[in-house]
Amino acid sequence: MSKLAEVAVDVKHPAIKGEYYYSIPERLEGKVQVGCRVKVPFNNQMVEGVVVRFLEKEDVACDFQLKDIAEVDDRFVLPEFMLDLARRLASYYAANLMDFLKLMLPPDVNPQREAVYAPAVEQIGSSRSEIQRKIFQYIKDKGEATVEEIVRATGLKRSSVNNALNVLTKKGFVKKEYRIKVESKFREVPAKPRLHKLTFEQANVLKEICRNMEKDKKPVLLFGITGSGKTEVYIKAIERVLAQGKKALVLVPEISLTPQMTERFHERFPGKVAVLHSRLSGGERFLEWYRIYQGDADITIGARSAVFAPIKDLGLIVIDEEHESSYKQMEFPFYDARQVARFRAEAQGATIIFGSATPSVESFYKAIKGEFIFLKLTRRVSGKPLPPVEVVDMREELKCGNKHIFSRKLCSEMDAALSRGEQVILFLNRRGHSTFILCRDCGFVMKCPHCDISLTYHSSDRTGKCHYCGFQVKAPDTCPSCDSRNIRYFGAGTEKVEQELKIRYPHVKVIRVDADSTSRKGTLEKMLSEFKCGRAQVMIGTQSIAKGLDFPRVSLVGIISADVTLNLPDFRAGERTFQLISQVAGRAGRGEIPGKVIVQTYSPESLAVKAACEYKFKDFYKEELISRKKFEYPPFYFLMNLTFSGGDHDLVKKAAEDVKKILEQEVSSQVKILGPIPAPRFKVKDNFRYNILLKSKEEKKLVEAGEFLKKLKSFNKKVYLTWDMNPQDLM
């Protein structure tokens, strides 16, 4: 009886994505396994695929000749539980198996291999030389070894080892094989770790976590203010897990921004940590992946996609800064690493710790409802209080004739801090110099011809840039519309803050940390260390620098404009602002010097600003939950955001209207269908976009709607439709 293989193929077109049957040629029998990567012929091409199932020929009614699998990659096999996870996710997100399998596979590179020697017999006779016997014993004890390892362990000369190995191989006592060369550059043992005795609060929290890990395995929400020692608790919990022979996964929002966190893990678990992130080369990523796959890494640290790392015996998943939106993939299949982690934890019997100083509203709600175990750290380890936060009403500044981006209060505090030799951090969530270029005479605003959004002025190269598609033009001296010379820049960004600072403090060294200044590999790390060692006094940055940084000499933190996030057209705008202010405040006063925070805003009375500035966390969540309920948003309603896009405006609009009509017929009455409306980002890269928003109290109903849409997908070749389950934003 011969077997067939079901193969998920990696093809782009939505209409043909899917799983197909292939036969297994004789020469590959035994080599092809479920979970293997293969190459198969598909529409006159060779495409990548993964074997997801075996079937008997009789089970498949098919009257045409199946094609053969062409090649198989036998370096690794995706474990069954990963395939199951892919199935569950494909169904939850109404995607194809391959959409998820792809995220689980390592990059397809040819890694370096090295020769190893393995024993081929049980024993060698006592007639062999002492050197040969010594080497054989070592190989046998270790299972396999490289020449290098043998030389190091036996202290013999390389030439004698080589000679002995030649003889042993010829006689058939050992065999030479090739294995993938694994070496991690993080392997060297770093400086002595700082070991801490847990505080009373930390010890209590750890006890609860451990009790839970043994029994209920419920997700835990660890709500701990900045500097309260959450990371230390993760480390201790991981030690427990490792002691039981299990492994841990630590997810962080963006790994290159948290070098300090990674360093701490290397320090505490030298040689046992694997790190996965986007700045690794293909080869580096393969090796880290392979170490995890082989079980050589006890702890895997990485950003979003590391949630798909091939970790067997997983005992604990830590999701640090769980409120961060970067856990969500912003393109199809729109997976959320937090959701994937929950499925994984269920399947592998692991526990999850969601940690944050400012939990997402959804997690907070699950915690008070008892779906998560709610644990709190309310005090900073240092015993220092959180810094006072002062709000400056920018309307008052204007009234008093101050049109600068710095309020008088912020100026005087900066003067004071700098004169004392302390450091200052300024945040503004907008990069570039100015967010729009406008003609004062005719009102003309320069826009991207492809995206219909205003161009951001960048002063370094005097260009207008589109932050969606990268389009750029030289900034004009005269208005392209009316020829007036009155063309001006508005809406300050980080570059502008830098310029103003340089005018105000010509002798102070300022560094700017944003996507523009840190695009080259290594520059971010360099800038952060310059600031840390005190070579620069002021750091300006976008919110990306708000995460996890720890600078003891910072006494003043200023938020140039809280309104940037507050005024986003999104139901999470308030939550984002609250989180931003609270996180930023946590960067001040971490060392011996007391800190201070200044928040500039035109809306000092808004709930998010007030609650964050007064550290009234509970008030914020309470009020926010009331409003989420009233306006039917998460956690009370589940959402699915449909996006229609295409180059022909009328076709896109019509497709959206048509689909709405079909949905009204087909989906449950428990699903509300809103729209279609032009998307907040209406035109991006020459594509027009429309949204339909689905809302339901029952998540299952939205999963069903997704299934329906998946079948519908090829409804119009000129309009592309995606669906985003549990969207992070509606823009």
Q: How many CA atoms lie within 13 A of 407 on its CB side?
A: 23
Segment near ligand ADP (CB under 6 A), from 135-143, 165-173, 197-205, 524-532? Answer: 197-205
Candidates 381, 411, 469, 536; binder of ligand ADP (CB under 6 A) is: 381
For Zn ion, how many residues bind (rule: CB under 5 A)? Answer: 15
In angstroms, give the least distance from the CB of 330 to Zn ion: 17
Show contacts with ligand ADP in window 31-70 (CB under 6 A): none
158, with CB counted inside 10 A (0-12, 13-18, 19+), is exposed
- Whichever of 233 and 608 has its CB closer to ligand ADP, that residue is 233
In angstroms, give the least distance from the CB of 442 to Zn ion: 3
- Considering CB distances under 5 to 8 angstroms, the limit depending on partner class, which of Zn ion, ligand ADP, none binds residue 451? Zn ion
- Whichever of 197 and 630 has its CB closer to ligand ADP, that residue is 197
Segment near ligand ADP (CB under 6 A), from 196-204, 395-403, 490-498, 661-669? Answer: 196-204
For ligand ADP, how many residues bind (rule: CB under 6 A)? Answer: 15
CA distances (Å), origin 219, targets 48, 146, 210, 338, 476: 37, 43, 12, 11, 55
- Please name the residues in contact with 364: beta carbons below 8 A apart, sequence gap of 6 or more: 221, 223, 621, 625
- The DSSP symbol for 719 reads S
Q: What is 514-565 written as a DSSP string? A: STTTT-STTHHHHHHHHHHTTS-SEEEE-GGGGSS---TTEEEEEES-THHH
- Please name the residues in contact with 313: beta carbons below 8 A apart, sequence gap of 6 or more: 245, 246, 247, 295, 348
In angstroms, give the least distance from the CB of 292 to ligand ADP: 24
Q: Largest alpha-carbon pair distance within the chain?
A: 100
- Considering CB distances under 5 to 8 angstroms, the limit depending on partner class, which of ligand ADP, Zn ion, none binds residue 228? ligand ADP
Helices (H), 105-157: 130-142, 147-154
Show contacts with Zn ion in window 474-503 (CB under 5 A): 479, 481-482, 484
Closest CA to 637 of 731, 721, 571, 567: 571
Strands (DSSP E) found in 102-261 = 113-119, 174-180, 220-224, 247-251
Segment near ligand ADP (CB under 6 A), from 73-81, 89-97, 198-206, 716-724? Answer: 198-206
- Please name the residues in contact with 527: beta carbons below 8 A apart, sequence gap of 6 or more: 511, 513, 517, 518, 536, 539
In angstroms, give the least distance from the CB of 689 to Zn ion: 13
- Considering CB distances under 5 to 8 angstroms, the limit depending on partner class, which of Zn ion, ligand ADP, none binds residue 224? ligand ADP
- Whichever of 435 and 543 has its CB closer to ligand ADP, that residue is 543
- For residue 362, which phi and psi values (nearest 5 degrees)? -65, -45
Facing residues of 211 across strands? none
Show contacts with Zn ion in window 445-474 (CB under 5 A): 448, 450-451, 466, 468-469, 471
Q: For residue 466, how far is the Cα from the chain centroid? A: 24
- Whichever of 194 and 403 has its CB closer to ligand ADP, that residue is 194
- Please name the residues in contact with 182: beta carbons below 8 A apart, sequence gap of 6 or more: 287, 290, 291, 294, 296
Instruction: Name the token pair of 448.
Output: 């991207």
- Considering CB distances under 5 to 8 angstroms, the limit depending on partner class, which of Zn ion, ligand ADP, none binds residue 468? Zn ion
CA distances (Å), origin 280, targets 229, 275, 277, 287, 652: 29, 9, 6, 10, 39
Tally of residues, the chain: 731
How much of the chain is in helix, strand and coil states, percent to nearest 5? 35, 25, 40
Contact between 361 and 607 under an 8 Å Cβ cutoff? The reply is no
- Whichever of 161 and 225 has its CB closer to ligand ADP, that residue is 225
In angstroms, give the least distance from the CB of 224 to ligand ADP: 5
In angstroms, give the least distance from the CB of 593 to ligand ADP: 15
In angstroms, give the least distance from the CB of 318 to ligand ADP: 11
- Considering CB distances under 5 to 8 angstroms, the limit depending on partner class, which of ligand ADP, Zn ion, none binds residue 448? Zn ion
In angstroms, give the least distance from the CB of 203 to ligand ADP: 9
Q: Is 166 in the site for Zn ion (CB under 5 A)?
A: no
- Considering CB distances under 5 to 8 angstroms, the limit depending on partner class, which of ligand ADP, Zn ion, none binds residue 231? ligand ADP
Closest CA to 198 of 243, 237, 226: 237
Q: Is 682 in the site for Zn ion (CB under 5 A)?
A: no
Give the angle 448-449-454 at the CA atoms, nearest 5°: 25
Q: Is 358 in the site for ligand ADP (CB under 6 A)?
A: no
Binding mask 391-430 toward ligand ADP (x if CB under 6 A, else -) reads ----------------------------------------
Distance linking the first and last C-alpha atoms of the chain: 55
- Whichever of 288 and 321 has its CB closer to ligand ADP, that residue is 321
Candidates 120, 147, 198, 573; binder of ligand ADP (CB under 6 A) is: 198
Show contacts with ligand ADP in window 218-237 (CB under 6 A): 224, 226-232
Which residues contact ligand ADP (rule: CB under 6 A)? 194, 196-199, 202, 224, 226-232, 381
Which residues contact Zn ion (rule: CB under 5 A)? 439, 441-442, 444, 448, 450-451, 466, 468-469, 471, 479, 481-482, 484
